[in-house]
Each structure stands twice: as C-alpha cells, then as structure tokens.
C-alpha cells in the first residue's frame, strides 16, 4: 500500500529516529521571549537534576503498542502502560521551571511511524493503515535529553542519557 | 557510522521532502524505542 505514495508525499523515519517523546523542555516550534541559547544555559542544570531525580529508580516501563492511528499529516502507533509515563512526566515538569511557551508533555504514548508532506485526503491515508494489526511491547529503560537540529528528530545530538551510563 | 551511510529499510526513507528539511533548535526528552521494536517496524514497512 505504501507503493501508492510517492517519495515526495510520504516519509518513513529511519529506525534510529523512532522514539517516544517524553517531554519538551524548549519546544522547537515555540517562540520564546528570552534567547534560546541563554534560556537553555539557565535551564540545563535544573533539567539535568530533574531527570536524575526521576530516574533514581531504574526505569522499566512496559508499553504495549496495539493501535495504528492515521491522521492527515502522519501515522502513529499508540501505546499503553501502567500509568508510569504519566506519573513521571508530571513529576518531571514539577521539578524545574518549564517555560510557559514550551509544550506541555503529551498525554499519550506514541511513536510517529510515517509523515505526509502535505495533508492528504483522509481516505488516502486510511488505505495505508486499514487492515494492519499492530501488536508489540516495548520497554522504556532510558531517557535521552537531546538537542534536535532538524525537525521531527531527523537529526539530533544526545546531550545526556538517564539513568546515567 | 555517519547517518547518510546507514543502511535503509525502505525506499521511501531515501527522500526527505523539502518541508522536512527545516532546521530546528529544540531541547527535548525522548525515549528511544528498543532494537526489538525497531525490527518490528522494519517488518511492518516491508510488508506494506
């Protein structure tokens, strides 16, 4: 079914780009009153401490992915856990001063598996996902604080991993 | 291994639409998927 889409209209992330977004610290698409470089310099120590705090106990969050959802701009796999993601995300943003302009953490667990160049008619998108059953379990054992250099985490550098390796 | 030299799993990985070439400057916390999940993804891509 993917053959029905041109290279120009559909993009599939490479394996190493697959991730669950845990939380934004400085959102790529938000405008800030303070210069980003200065903001990051100020935030980095407290964000690091917050991540150290929430990963004091080893992470071992089992996520069951069992839904493939189509949207006009993307396709995602949605997962479910025992509530650990929600608790950790809420704890994380209470441990430092998350800028008002930054996106709040997502309230779902998902990984984006395809993106469309332009918003396509929904029926076209549905043809990709109709009839595909998804079922796999992933175990989250580490979080990475990254600097995204190209949108959709196509290019990024890992600043630190937590728990510390 | 440089990203451009990494093996690809599907021809649609080759071309990144120009709209996706935008530079970013964000600081984000992510959980990378496990190797086993990435292999599943490869399987799904090939089967579609």
Answer yes or no: do A149 and B31 touch at CB < 8 A: no
DSSP state of A18: -
The ipTM value here is: 0.90
CATH of the domain at A46: 3.90.1140.10
Helix A84-94 with A36-54: angle, nearest 10 deg: 130
Report residues of chain A scoring pLDDT below 70. Answer: 1-8, 118-122, 124-125, 127-128
Q: What is the pLDDT of residues B1-46, one digit of tens each?
A: 344 444 445 444 444 555 556 677 899 999 999 999 988 888 777 7
pLDDT at B41: 82
The domain tally of chain A equals 1
Residue pointed to by tokens 């997502």: A106
| List of chain B residues whose C-beta atoms are within 8 Å of the C-beta of residue A148 | 24-28
Q: Mapping DSSP to helix (H, G, I), strand (E, B) and coil, where does residue A75 land? A: strand
Answer yes or no: do A115 and B20 touch at CB < 8 A: yes
| Closest residue by Cα to residue A43 from A145, A153, A149, A157 | A145
Domain carrying residue A29 = 2-162
pLDDT at B2: 40
Q: For testing the chain B interface, which of A1, A6, A10, A14 should be mutated: the one with the most B CBs within 10 Å?
A: A14
Q: What is the pLDDT of residues A114-140, one digit of tens each?
A: 888 766 666 766 766 777 788 899 999
| Helix segments in chain A, DSSP class H | 36-54, 84-94, 122-129
Does this model's pTM top 0.90? My answer is no
| List of chain A residues whose C-beta atoms are within 8 Å of the C-beta of residue B48 | 1-2, 128, 132
pLDDT at A124: 67
């Amino acid at each position: 079914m993917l053959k029905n889409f041109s290279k120009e209209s559909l993009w599939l992330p490479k394996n190493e780009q697959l991730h669950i977004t845990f939380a934004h610290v400085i959102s790529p698409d938000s405008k800030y009153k303070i210069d980003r470089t200065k903001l990051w310099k100020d935030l980095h120590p407290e964000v690091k401490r917050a991540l150290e705090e929430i990963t004091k106990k080893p992470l071992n969050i089992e996520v069951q992915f069992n839904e493939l959802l189509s949207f006009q701009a993307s396709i995602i796999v949605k997962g479910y856990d025992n509530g650990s993601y929600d608790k950790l995300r809420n704890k994380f943003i209470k441990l430092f001063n998350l800028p008002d302009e930054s996106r709040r953490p997502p309230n779902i667990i998902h990984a984006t598996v395809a993106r469309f160049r332009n918003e396509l008619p929904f029926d076209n998108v549905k043809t990709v996902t109709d009839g595909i059953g998804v079922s796999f379990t992933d175990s989250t054992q580490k979080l990475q604080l990254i600097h995204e250099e190209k949108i959709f985490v196509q290019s990024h550098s890992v600043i630190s991993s937590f728990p510390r390796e | 291994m440089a990203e451009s030299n990494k093996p690809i799993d599907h021809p649609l990985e080759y071309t990144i639409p120009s709209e996706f070439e935008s530079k970013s400057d964000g600081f984000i916390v992510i959980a990378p998927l496990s190797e086993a999940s990435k292999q599943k993804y490869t399987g799904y891509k090939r089967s579609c």
